Structure 1
Amino acid sequence: MGGIGEGDGRSAGPREQTAGTAPKAQLSEDAVRVFRWVSDQGSCDVRTVGATLGLPENCAASAVRTLTDLLLLRHVPEDPDRLVPVAPDAAIAALIAPKEAGLRRQLAEIDQLRGELALLTPLYTEGRRRWQGRPALTEVTDLKTVVGMITEATMRCRREVRTCHPGGGRSPALLEQAFVRDRDMLRRGVRMRTLYQHTARYHLPTQEYARRMTAEGAEIRTLSELFGRMVAFDGETVFIPHQDDLDAAIVIHDPSTVAYLCTTFDHAWSLAEPYQPAWTESSARDEVKQAIVRLLAEGMKDEMVARRLGMSLRTCRKHIAEIMEQLGAASRFQAGYLARVQSSGPAATAPGTA
């Protein structure tokens, strides 16, 4: 339909209108009056429509603009000042039908997407049923079963394993067994992060294990104290020791508990130092001594301090003797107190020998 939406530059002339783009204009009483009158007359002169109907010029111009936007009036190509009416059905076909077609396409796409996603519902339901059927926490009391479950989890692991080993170094036999298993994981592209206590830097078999593992791509760090022993696979399964049985373990599948333990590991990891075998003059040695002082100040016995820091009682007492000599303390508690005073300033006076 030639000429629809072609303006002539006049203030009361029509605005450009693309077929299929519905305007936001609404029919006013003035627009209805103009359309009825033009329909009765068959045509009108855009310059005189307002005066003919007794409408103010701006109201008449707004009404004509609305009607042309809605494709209910069109200019005669031979006489741009003359308007003729257009059947509302034709305006509907030009303005609304394209939008309806677009909506139908969108609905078809939505139905297709809904159908494709619905195909996955049985898979999710089946998997959910398996997860819900598996207990969030399993107690395994047989050592061979524990080892077998860890081996199986190691073989299934695809992304990352986090291991936390409090205490001193492990036995050479266990380290060799772990090396073969862990090396295979690393070569599959699994990230491996291991936390030891600083005291593991003393242990020659652990030093060799750390050297071989880091060469394969493992990451190893140490802290003076660790939160507990655990092994986490892919952020989905965590093994922790049984508190009453050294040969038993607790296997955790609950997502919230697993996420909490992995976050705890990540926090400790951010505070830890990269493993270095030779640490006589390192900051790790100072950190161990600071931990000893802090635990002594809390009133812990030598045996408990040694256990907390993963060292032998003999090594612990050697460190304590060095600390007491450096501080001039006559007792372990006084050593802890003097160390706190020195770290906070000379505001307090050391008490007498406890």
Structure 2
Amino acid sequence: MSESSGAALPSESERRLYQQILDQGGRVSFREAVEQDPTGVLRLMELGLLVHDAADQALTAVNPRAVSDRISAELRAEGTRMLLRAEEMPTLLEDLTHAYDATPRRADRSSVVQHVDRTEQIRHRVLQLASEAYEEELSLHPGGAGPADQLEAALERKRRFLESGASVRTVYEPTALLDETTVRWAERVTGWGGRFRTLSEPFSRMLIFDRRIAVVPASADNSSAAFIEDPAVVSFLVAAFERDWERAERIRWRSAEHEGESVVPVHEQVGRLLAQGLTQKTIASRLGLGERTVAAHISRLRELHDAETLFQLGWQMRGAGERED
């Protein structure tokens, strides 16, 4: 076992700290935890087993399954030498997974619909779901992206999520484009492969993670939320999102954040290389991205340019480049 591979696992003291946090419901005060074991807290945050919520200065325990998946992917990227270690990772974190499943907090999820009434608890639960998602996030946000401080704290997590090959699609009201915070957030996330549209029709707030669990308002003032895990209901809500998405208008973001600088979003870099005739694999190598990430950017470009085939997209991107020159 190499030193680098061993460094990917929490020590015995860090495991005990994680289990103590689970015993307190999976959420503790950041200050109190740091006073107890500052090194252990920082290490668990580095591993992704704890997430710091800057808004209320709290630490939230993350499902070790999500951490296991992420670490396994990183180990596989190191090559054949680390492949066996990556396959063993779920077993190596099995004790933490059992502890996570056994915590009383899990009892609340035995129901297919869980109602949460306090805004702080709603945000805490959504933060957990966002940290555990690994494939897709769909959302309807009629009021825009949200408070700037919360967005800044979530920015790095959103970048890692998209660069892993996951998908993010968001629908706003047209008025959201007048909000500077929302525009700047959307520009950043679009550069990593996120997709945004605007819908002029009235619609309600909704979040869907991995087509597995949906979050919808349970009161008119959004002070209460319903977390739905019934597969049939979630499937129905996904279909409703897709209908809204198809009716919504596409947005071509133009970043005004770096005036005077040449800021080329990742998807545009992919398009330029595609126009040069490079293959998906070569583009991934050139930009230092995973092939799944490049595939996600190509999918977004095909939608933006209404291209039915990869050849047609490359032709259109080549023509666009010539017009710009």
TM-score (norm 2): 0.42
Q: Which has the higher contact order (CA 8 A, sep 6+)?
A: 2
TM-score (norm 1): 0.39
Which of 1 and 2 has greater Rg?
1
